[in-house]
Structures are given as structure tokens and as C-alpha cells.
Amino acid sequence: MAVKNAVKSAVKEKVISKDFKEYIRDVNPDVGLDETIKRLTPEKIEKTIKAVIGGRSSRIKAVMNTCIHCGLCAEACQWYLSNDKDPTYAPVAKMRMTIWEMIKRNGKVDAEFIKQCARIVFTECNICHRCSMYCPYGLDITFIIGMVRRICFLLGVIPQRQLDQAQAHIVTLNQVWLSQNDWLDVLQWQEEEVGADFKDLRVPIDRDGAEVMWLPLGAEPKTGTYHIERTAKIMYAAGVNWTLPSKDVWDSSSMSMFVRDFVTMQRIVRGLYDNAARLRIKKMVLTE
């Protein structure tokens, strides 16, 4: 009960940004944001921002100078519409409060500012591309948001659960820390499960020259095994010659893409293609 009350009282407090007085939000404790900013130094922040923006500053400046603040992107954003048209939720505001300010101050921003940026780009934007679609100048707002995500990622300031998945991808190339043993074990277990419903059903692993290589979402073998079971049934009923790879990479999701971890993104795609080449499949079917 005491915990519940503590959570309630914490929620009543508001965070008011010291850089932007209009930016008022509920307190939402997250170790990934609150603790990690303590490690930052002004030099580190400036160095990271300059490294990421680097040669691309002209592309960002083109966006900054072209934007006429017409507000069409705001009307396209479900965050803005759902929060009673609070202007701080508008996509253009999300850019202004993050990368425009970083450029304006030449990278000289403090840790508290980085935390606010992380909150904006990681918890208030889905990179759904709707704002970019409605922008009359076709400005790629999601590219800018992604760039801010990369800055925050390199500084280690990411909401904890996203950071955990991103790190899982770095280490295991799947989002749930699943080892190859467990992966194979789950597939064989699923084969036994579905065997009760269908005659001679297989969950084929590493079948050479199969028509389809199906790749699940990382969470499926861990918490959603029924998806593997159902897919096996569909493939079997349709008579598809399908397979799953035994080796990494088998996870079709990529948190690395959401945090713009380019190195791991590349490792994931390379792993998927290597599996496809090794098994000489015709179609790669991905869940995500």
C-alpha cells in the first residue's frame, strides 16, 4: 500500500523544463534516464553531438531553414491530438527542443537537457513517419528524431527497457538474451506441442533449399511461443516447404534500429542474409 501511495504522489508532481517553460510533464522515474545522466560531462556531450551531427549539419540546417512552422505536422501527430493540442507535443517542437537547440548552442548543453531530449525522442515519438508525410516541403522529421536518438544512445541515456533490448541485440543478436541452445529447445518443444493437433507435423530447422525461411520476433520463442505453433500449422496446412535457421540471426526485430546503433543494425541484417544464403531459400518472411 505504501508503495502505491508513493507512486501516486510522485505522479502528481510535475517536471517543468528549465530550457522550455512550456514543457511540463508528469514525473516518471526511469533508471535509464535518471541515473545515466550522472555519468555525463559537458565535454563528453559536446564531443558526441559534434561527432553525430558532423558532416550532416547541412542536411539539418536545410530542414531548419526550410520549415515555415505551418503546423501541418502537428495536426498529423497522434501525441499532439491526444494531449489536447499541447504544442510541446508537435513534431516541429520536438525538433526545436532537441537538435535545433543543440546546434544553436554549438553542442554546449547540460546533462539535464540531454535527459529531456531522451524523454522527447524515446517516449513521445513513435517514428511513425506520419508528420513527414504531411509536411508540405517533405522535410524528413523522423530522420532528425533518429539523429537525436543516436546522440542519446551514444551517451547511454535511454529508458532502461529500451537500453536492455538494445544491449541484448549487441550481445546475442536477439532482443531477449536467448542462447542458441534455448532457441533450438523451444523449436523442438513447439514441434511436440503441435504434433498433438496435426499428423506428422514438423518445425523444420535448417532445411536446405526451402521455399520460405520464416523469422519470428525475438519475444516469440520466449513469451509468445503460440505464434510459432500457429505459423507451423498454417505452413503445414498450405503445404509450404519452410524452415527456420538454427544459428544466429533468427530474430527479425531490431531495437538497434530504434536507437540508431548502426553497427549492430548491420550485424543483424548481415546475419539474416548469411542464413538465407547458407540455406539457399527463395523467400525470407519476417514477422516484424
Partner 1 sequence: MLGYRELPFEVMQTGEFYYELLTSGRLKIDKSKKIKEPVTMQDPCNIIRRAGAAEKFRYIVNATCEDFRDMKPNREHNFCCNAGGGLAALSNWAAHKAKGNRVKAEQIQATGAKIVITPCHNCSTGIKDVIKIWNLGLKNMFFDQLLVNTMEIPEELKIV
Positions touching partner 1 (CB under 8 A) are 11, 26, 28, 30, 78-79, 81-83, 89, 122-130, 133, 159-162, 164-165, 196-201, 212, 214, 217, 219, 224, 227, 230-231, 233-234, 236-240, 253, 255, 258-259, 270, 273-274, 276-277, 281-288
Provide the minimum distance between the beta carbon of 65 and partner 1 in the complex, in angstroms, as a whole number. 26
Q: Residues 183, 175: contact at Cβ < 8 Å?
A: no
Tell me if residue 225 falls in helix, strand or coil. Answer: helix
| Nearer of residues 80 and 113 to partner 1, judged by Cβ | 80
Provide the minimum distance between the beta carbon of 114 and partner 1 in the complex, in angstroms, as a whole number. 18
Cis amide bond preceding 15, omega within 30? no
Q: Residue 25: beta bridge partners?
A: 15
| Nearer of residues 46 and 193 to partner 1, judged by Cβ | 193
| Nearer of residues 105 and 130 to partner 1, judged by Cβ | 130
Q: Can you tell me the distance from the alpha carbon of 121 to that of 98, in angstroms, rounded to the nearest whole number?
A: 9
Q: Which of 278, 272, 277, 232 is nearest to 254 (CA)?
A: 272
| Nearer of residues 111 and 145 to partner 1, judged by Cβ | 145
Provide the minimum distance between the beta carbon of 14 and partner 1 in the complex, in angstroms, as a whole number. 13
**Cα torsion angle, 91, 96, 100, 102, sign:** negative
| Nearer of residues 41 and 262 to partner 1, judged by Cβ | 262
Amino acid (1-letter code) at residue 118:
A
Tell me if residue 9 falls in helix, strand or coil. Answer: helix
Provide the minimum distance between the beta carbon of 225 and partner 1 in the complex, in angstroms, as a whole number. 12
